[in-house]
């Protein structure tokens, strides 16, 4: 009886520590007074599957095969999740993508009604070339909470971390923006790491940033992973991301930075009159600066990412004699929970002969 009583006392103390003696959460800590389902912990199984499949194609020069393998793997696990999901950000329209197309219903059909944003392989060229920074990502929000950019595939973006959130303006001069970010981070402008996609369209932007004295991180692809690194509180060399990139990636980034307390500002950048008219037909304003909550609203936002190749925050897939190891990031906006998960996948009890 003494041992059992001791266990009961310990459990009671644990409950008090979590809830506070008056039943409320302890000030400054999370509320564990009742269990809440964290969907991100289920979504990570999906990104792990996509990352493992895509990793088999690292450095093999075939980005389409890598992307196809990741899509197939993500799709096979996605339908096991208890949710009624609709793909808002996917691999394209139904006639362009056989699976995970925009408008596709995913999940078991039972459970919460959710918008789903997927990028089975953010950085297909990175995988094909065996370069760093490729990830498999997936985000969800309550139905109707994710912006659908339609055919307008590009967006001007500005991403900052929590310290500068709410203080920057996409329409401000670059020098002013960098000065604000530097002050918020208690750095000199010359110490900032400015992430920019390496594209000819950014030549003048690169010149402006260099004229300010800031350092530049040019990336060939993978601006979702780079944006997450910017918004992260983990030490890395990514302080702000600026430039024009994919609109779908902008919506996924909004889900991620919402969980982390950062901010993304985006303005649609139609390439021609057709894209502009298509955006307006959807009720979108091509001159408006969309904020994080405009791109992904609500509190029930979840984000999961698993590295395919090593990046600023996550280690890439490593194949072992018995299987593989993955490194993932899972987040929930409502609780502000950010988890890094290292997983060992054991495929067999005997060493595998990889081919």
Tell me, what's the pLDDT at 97?
66
27 has a pLDDT exceeding 90: no
What is d(CA 68, CA 127) in angstroms, rounded to the nearest whole number? 12
Q: How confident is the model at residue 347 (pLDDT cuts 50, 70, 90)?
A: confident
pLDDT tens column, 65-117: 999 999 999 999 998 999 999 999 998 776 676 688 999 999 999 999 999 99
pLDDT tens column, 256-289: 999 999 999 999 999 999 999 999 999 999 999 9
Question: What separation, in Å, do the N-terminal and C-terminal C-alpha atoms of the chain show?
Answer: 59
Q: Does domain 40-143+302-316 have CATH number 3.30.540.10?
A: yes
Considering the segment(s) 154-295 as one domain, its CATH architecture is: 3-Layer(aba) Sandwich (3.40)
Pair 149, 115: CB distance under 8 Å: no
Q: How confident is the model at residue 33 (pLDDT cuts 50, 70, 90)?
A: very low
Phi/psi-derived region of residue 112, left when phi > 0, alpha when psi is between -120 and 50, beta in every other case = beta
What is d(CA 281, CA 95) in angstroms, rounded to the nearest whole number? 20
How does strand 337-346 pair with strand 240-246? Answer: unpaired
Lowest mean pLDDT: which of 36-50, 66-80, 126-140, 216-230?
A: 36-50
Nearest CA among 246, 83, 34 for reference residue 152: 246
pLDDT tens column, 130-177: 999 999 999 999 999 999 999 999 999 999 999 999 999 999 999 999
How does strand 302-307 pair with strand 135-142? Answer: antiparallel
Q: Across residues 316-331, what is the average pLDDT?
A: 95
Q: Give domain limits for the chain.
A: 40-143+302-316, 154-295
What pTM did the predictor assign?
Answer: 0.86
Q: Across residues 12-38, what is the average pLDDT?
A: 49
DSSP output for 254-295: HHHHHHHT-EEEEEE--SSHHHHHHHHHTT--TTS-B-HHHH
Nearest CA among 229, 65, 4, 19 for reference residue 135: 229
């Amino acid at each position: 009886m003494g041992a059992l009583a001791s266990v009961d006392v310990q459990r009671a103390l644990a409950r008090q520590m979590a809830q506070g003696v008056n039943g409320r959460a302890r000030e400054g800590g999370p509320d564990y007074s009742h269990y809440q389902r964290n969907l991100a912990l289920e979504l990570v199984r999906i990104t792990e599957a996509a990352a493992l499949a895509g990793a088999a194609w690292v450095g093999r020069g075939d980005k389409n095969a890598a992307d196809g393998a990741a899509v197939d793997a993500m799709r096979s696990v996605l339908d096991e999740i208890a949710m009624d999901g609709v793909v808002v950000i996917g691999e394209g329209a139904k006639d362009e993508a056989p699976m995970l197309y925009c408008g596709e219903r995913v999940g078991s059909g039972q459970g919460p009604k959710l918008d789903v944003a997927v990028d089975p392989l953010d950085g297909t060229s990175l995988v094909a070339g065996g370069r760093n920074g490729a990830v498999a990502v997936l985000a969800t929000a309550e139905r109707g909470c994710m912006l659908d950019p339609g055919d307008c595939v590009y967006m001007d973006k500005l991403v900052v971390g929590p310290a500068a959130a709410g203080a920057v303006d996409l329409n401000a001069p670059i020098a002013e923006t960098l000065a604000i970010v530097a002050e918020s981070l208690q750095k000199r402008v010359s110490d900032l790491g400015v992430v920019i996609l390496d594209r000819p369209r950014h030549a003048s932007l690169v010149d402006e940033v260099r004229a300010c004295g800031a350092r530049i991180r040019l990336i060939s692809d993978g601006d979702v992973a780079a944006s997450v690194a910017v918004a992260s509180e983990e030490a890395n060399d990514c302080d702000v991301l600026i430039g024009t990139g994919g609109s779908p990636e902008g919506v996924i980034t909004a889900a991620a930075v919402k969980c982390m307390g950062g901010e993304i500002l985006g303005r649609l950048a139609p390439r021609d009159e057709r894209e502009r008219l298509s955006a307006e037909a959807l009720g979108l304003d091509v001159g408006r600066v969309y904020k994080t909550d405009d791109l992904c609203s609500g509190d029930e936002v979840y984000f999961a990412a698993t590295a395919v190749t090593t990046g600023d925050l996550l280690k890439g897939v490593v194949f072992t004699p018995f299987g593989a190891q993955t490194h993932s990031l899972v987040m929930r906006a409502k609780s502000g929970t950010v988890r890094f998960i290292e997983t060992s996948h054991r495929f067999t009890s005997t060493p595998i002969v990889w081919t």
